[in-house]
A = this chain, B = another copy of it.
Amino acid sequence: MSDTFSKQEQEVIYRLIRARRDIRHFASDPVPEDALQRILEAAHYAPSVGFMQPWNFILITSQEIKQKIKASFEETNREQLQVLSEDERKELYRKLKLEGIMEAPINIAVTCDRNRDAPFVLGRSPMPETDLYSTCLAIQNMWLAARAEGIGIGWVSLINQQEVKQILRLPAGVELVAYLCIGYPTQFPKKPMLEELGWKSRLPLKTLVYENQWGQLKTF
């Protein structure tokens, strides 16, 4: 295994990072098991605090369980719509497709077992949330690996965590970090949906980079 990445290989990686999208429109084609395994392995190669590897992956393939999750999404989505006050935003919000739970051939719940290796996890105790953060690093590995395989992932955040935890029978101490829909997308859009539809623009990076203290802009 080579230790370095050529300019050309770096370009592949940057192209991948830019081509990744949050997918909500899925084709019905199944995800091949070997691709699925490679994606999960990529997740498992993420860093974790104290090498804790606190993640589990629950693959949801049962239509019945998907249906329960979908119902939970719909209720949460209705509640969100009521919170929005401006009519214009409401109108746009209504048009957005925010999940692909039923269409995606697989859903994956990514969890964090907060008691793994308890009581002593090297490096965690000053920032106990680093186990949850490690799980997110695994999710990004997974998302990028899937994109490389031509497979899309969509993160459904509009769900009732407690309900989903019950549906999936998560024991106490295991947190639901992400609920993901996985499958071949009908397309990988050029831009994020919310940017495309004018919900929000990409911020200029240079406004977000400071030097030595908050608010002191870095000049490149």
User: If A133-B132, A140-B141, A150-B5 touch, does A208 touch B13 (CB 8 Å cutoff)?
Assistant: no
A127 within 8 A of B: yes
The reply to whether B218 and A148 contact each other, CB–CB distance below 8 Å, is no
The reply to whether B37 and A211 contact each other, CB–CB distance below 8 Å, is no
Q: Determine which residue in A2, A5, A17 has the highest number of CB atoms from chain B within 10 A of its CB, and name it.
A: A17
User: If A58-B213, A210-B58 touch, does A157 touch B80 (CB 8 Å cutoff)?
Assistant: no
Q: Which of B122, B177, B194 contacts A50 (CB 8 A)?
A: B194
Q: Which of B10, B41, B59, B84 contacts A205 (CB 8 A)?
A: B41
A87 within 8 A of B: no
A47-B139 Cα distance, complex, nearest whole Å = 11
Q: List, in ascending order, chain B residues with CB within 8 A of A171's CB.
A: 214
Q: Which residue of B lies closest to A6 (CB)?
A: B12
Q: List, in ascending order, chain B residues with CB within 8 A of A145's CB.
A: 13-14, 17
Interface 1/0s, chain A 17-59, versus B by CB < 8 A?
Answer: 1111110000000000100011011101111011111011111
A213-B65 Cα distance, complex, nearest whole Å = 9
Size class of the contact patch on chain A: 35 or more
User: If A13-B145, A117-B200, A144-B144 touch, does A157 touch B126 (CB 8 Å cutoff)?
Assistant: yes
The reply to whether B15 and A12 contact each other, CB–CB distance below 8 Å, is no
Q: Which residue of B lies closest to A175 (CB)?
A: B129
The reply to whether A59 and B218 contact each other, CB–CB distance below 8 Å, is yes
The reply to whether A15 and B1 contact each other, CB–CB distance below 8 Å, is yes
Those of A166-220 within 8 Å (CB) of chain B: 168-171, 174, 177-178, 188, 192, 194-195, 199-200, 202-203, 205, 208-215, 218, 220
User: If A126-B158, A133-B178, A208-B57 touch, does A200 touch B50 (CB 8 Å cutoff)?
Assistant: yes
Interface 1/0s, chain A 122-135, versus B by CB < 8 A?
Answer: 11111101101100
